[in-house]
Structures are given as structure tokens and as C-alpha cells.
Amino acid sequence: METTHLQLLENLLKHYSPSHHEQAAVQFLVDWMNAHGFSAYIDPAGNAVGTLGQGAVKVLLLGHIDTVTGEIVVRQEGNLLYGRGAVDAKGPLATFAAAASLGAITGVQVCVVGAVGEESESHGASYLRDHWQAPDYLIIGEPSRWNRITLGYKGSAWVTLTAQTETAHSASGQTTACELAVQAWNALKAWCDEYNRPSSDSVFTQLTPTLRRMNSHSDGFADTARLELNFRLPPKFDLETLYTGITERLPAGVTMSARPDGVPAFRGDKNNPLVRSALRAIRAMGEQPGFVVKTGTSDMNLVAPIWNCPTIAYGPGDSSLDHTPNEHIDMQEYLQAIRVLRNLLEGLAEKS
């Protein structure tokens, strides 16, 4: 069985699937699930969906099958398996499919979804949010290490600042568009630093800005400079507060536009049957479990606030390897996570 599960992950990695190019990987996963006891299909959004078992308890294992760009040759070096998505997040997704494939659990219906587009606009999870009823329990497939449970993610918002001035001679002394853009960035950075001062010891509670891209150009009449910024949002800091705070601090001549895919932070409760089952499952493997919160975002931010059901994120892998050219997963950790997740699901049946 371990060989089958390792082959599942390796073959999934060999289907390179950056956002908007997931079709082959989705078809592979659907075919694999149909061959291993699931009733599986591709939904209208392009997600791979597989259901196994029947029962009053509905558990959704929501992973994502897309990756960032940058193909990595799939290879094994010792106990490490390299490939784009090994950690983020085909390792956790394969863990979901493998654990569920071990057989139906009395009283529990398990649904595994390999969602598309998580690394872009999350249209796969958005479709589920808008068309599915809330499950009883939700587990998001993201790396947390096999012995840790992720309770929450910071929010995220992308904005573009545009500074524009009339073209002038370089000796004129006039403030340039580039200088205006720098002033705007400095003002926003100072605002965030002030907001963060009371919570300087906790990144999860900080408002964190990052300057991701910058460019400038001139058409001979006007000079334009653009900055693309990402803000990581702490709990209780909504998007409207962010956008208002930005616009109030921009110098004259600078405007802001926001991408529509911003999401607020989410942090789940840790006193519920799902968390307790996860803790028991990790302890049963002889390890002391830990809780973590993440400074990134995931599909948890999108669906959990709407469905309002017990939610965690779980999966093997070192998240510091996300999006890196060295992305790899320890295969023994992957197999350990399958055992933990299987015990977790069986524990939910016992409590139903």
C-alpha cells in the first residue's frame, strides 16, 4: 500500500500543473480515485472531485492541484522527492486521496477535492463556496508538517499605486512621478510600522506590506510610475479598513486600485471535535502535536468564513519550501501524514 501511495504522489508531481493549466493533472487524479474506490468526476469549475463512503457525517478534504510556475524535474534523492508542488500542495492533496482510499468509514462520507486556481484567483474554491452546502468538517490541504495543525491564515490584498506628473526637464526641480511613488510607499510603510508597534512580537497580528513590482514610463507629456503592493492582513483588519487607510495617506498625484481577490484573515476555533480528533491522531503516533498560524493565505480564507464549520489545515511538508526552486518532500513524512489523517477520519466516526 505504501508503494501505491508513493506512486500516487510521484505521478501527480509529473503532471506539471501551474494555474490555468491543470487539466491533465485533474484527469489523472480523477482516474486514480475512480480506480481506488471513489466515485470521481470533474466539476464545472475544473476541480477533481471524489467521494467515498456514505454517512451522516460529511467531511471535505479540500486541497489544490495547481502550482506556481517553474517546473522542477521530478526525482528522488535518498528519502526526498523533488518536484513542483511536492509541498505546495500536491503532497497534502495526495495525502488526502491516499488516506480516504484505505476504505469507507462507517457513518462518514469523505469527499476529496483537488481544486484549481488556488495560486491565482481561487476560482475552484470559489465555485465550491457558491454551489456546495457546508460540510460538517473541513480540512484544507496545506503543509504544516505531519505533527502540526494549522488553525488560521492571514488575509491578503493586492493594490497598485499610480503616480503621474507632467513631464519636465531633469533640471527643473519638479517632483517626479517616481519620487511621488516612493513618497507613497514610505508613507504606507510608516503607517504599518505604527500599527504594528503594539504587536511587534507576533507576525500573525501585524499588518505587513511588501513592494512586489515597480515600473515607470513617459510618453513625452506625462510621466507615470506604478508600484504593485501586497498587504498581509491580521485578524480583525478588514479590506475596507485597509483601502481607506491607504487612500488617506497617499500624496496628491497618486491613486490606488485594488485587485478584486482580496481576502480577510481567518482563524478557526481549536475546541471542537475536528481539532480533538486531529490531536488524538498525532498523539497516537507517539508525537506531541502543535498548533500553528500562517502568514500566507489559502482557500481556508475563502470558504471557511462562509461555511462556518470546524476547520483546520493539515498536510506534510516544510512550508518554507513553498514556491522555491528546491521544493521537495520527505517521503516518510508523507506516509506518516497519511496514517495520521486516516486515524483522524476514523476518530470523527467514533464521535458521530
What is the set of active-site residues?
66, 118
In whole angstroms, give the CA distance from residue 91 to residue 326: 15
| 65 closest CA partner among 108, 27, 99, 105 | 27
Cα–Cα distance between 222 and 141 in angstroms, integer?
48
- How far is the first Cα of the chain from the last one, in angstroms, to the nearest whole number? 28
Cell numbers linked to 189: 510603510
Half-sphere exposure for 220 (CA within 13 Å, toward CB): 0
Show Cβ contacts of residue 229 under 8 Å, excluding neighbours closer than 6 positions: 158, 159, 160, 161, 185, 188, 209, 210, 211, 212
Q: What is the dihedral of CA 213, 217, 223, 229, to 10 degrees?
A: -10
Looking at the DSSP bridge assignments, the partners of residue 347 are none
